[in-house]
Chain A
Amino acid sequence: MASSIRVRATANGDITEVQALIQHPMDSGFVKDAKGELIPAHFIQELKFEYNGKDVFVADWGPAVSKDPYVKFSFKGANKGDDLKISWTDNKGASDTTIAKIS
């Protein structure tokens, strides 16, 4: 299965800009399906970016984050060719991890 996480990490001088897009339904628990039954909440709770064994960005998310979430941030000190590890866990205990090369 292809990874649910797509990342672009670009080093520009000392700053590395990271954009991530994750495929996830992010169901809020307030939406009803075609039969009028509530779709249970299903959303990513924690998303973590690690560089060199250190957290560089940690997101705690609630169900108000849009479906197929997108996030952008920047951090200092990384070089082109380095690895950035991204992982998420959702409220049902599912998770995914990927490693992106900084370009």
Chain B
Amino acid sequence: MTTTIGPLPTRRLILQGAASVTLIGLGNLPFAASPARAAANDKYPEEAFKQKSEADAIKALYGKTAEPSDKVKLDAPEIAENGGVVPISVTTTLDQVTSISFFVAENPNALAASYKIPDGTVPAVANRLKMAKTTNVVAIVESGGKLYSASKEVKVTVGGCGG
């Protein structure tokens, strides 16, 4: 599977085209009648996304702290030439995983993305994040009610938060 994860200056143009090349075009499908369902049990963690530091964001999201674990494998590049698109993925051998979250330590707001992993879903996620500058990327895996983390420094040559 090839996706365009390239530090190209014309990324905007390329991505729009690549979207239709690399993934199956689905065309128009009927818009299913499902209004925005902010269900009571899985609300968007607004507060956690507002926190500046990684520690505060983890606390706001989970209410506890994480311990480093070699069972959490974080895959991120050594050097990201374009901080706007940094491919980052995590896998784990831990059981009973209920969520996986990504933090970028020195972004304006540390929490980047948080994924709920229901029963039957494989505890592995790949996504692309923005990084303002060279800093640590931290992945947190929630397993059996406990938090496990892995982190890796990614060197960023051109920051992705603009300004």
B45 contacts A5, C-beta separation under 8 Å: no
Q: Is the interface of A mostly helix, strand, loop or mixed?
A: strand
Q: Return A35 CB to nearest CB of chain B, in Å.
A: 14
A64 contacts B19, C-beta separation under 8 Å: no
**Tally of A-B residue pairs with Cβ under 8 A?**
159
A57 contacts B117, C-beta separation under 8 Å: yes
A6 contacts B122, C-beta separation under 8 Å: no
Q: Given the known A-B contacts A6-B24, A56-B118, are A87 and B34 also in contact in the complex, defined by CB atoms under 8 Å?
A: yes
Q: Given the known A-B contacts A58-B42, A65-B129, are A77 and B162 also in contact in the complex, defined by CB atoms under 8 Å?
A: no
Q: How large is the interface on B (under 10, 10 to 19, 20 to 34, 35 or more residues)?
A: 35 or more
Residues of A within 8 A of B6 (CB): none
Residues of B within 8 A of A74 (CB): 121-122, 124
Q: Which residue of A lies closest to B108 (CB)?
A: A30
Residues of B within 8 A of A62 (CB): 49, 109, 111-113
A66 contacts B121, C-beta separation under 8 Å: no
A8 contacts B121, C-beta separation under 8 Å: no
Q: Return B36 CB to nearest CB of chain A, in Å.
A: 5
Residues of A within 8 A of B36 (CB): 89, 93, 95
Given known contacts A65-B127, A75-B122, A77-B120, what 13 new A-B pairs fall within 8 Å (CB)? A3-B26, A3-B29, A5-B26, A7-B24, A21-B3, A32-B162, A56-B118, A59-B113, A60-B114, A64-B109, A64-B161, A68-B19, A72-B127
Chain B residues packing against A (C-beta within 8 Å) = 1, 3, 12, 15-16, 19-20, 22-29, 31-32, 34, 36, 38, 42, 44-45, 49, 84-86, 89, 104, 107-109, 111-118, 120-122, 124-131, 160-163
Chain A residues packing against B (C-beta within 8 Å) = 1-3, 5-8, 15, 19-21, 23, 28, 30-32, 45-46, 54-77, 85, 87, 89, 93, 95, 97-100
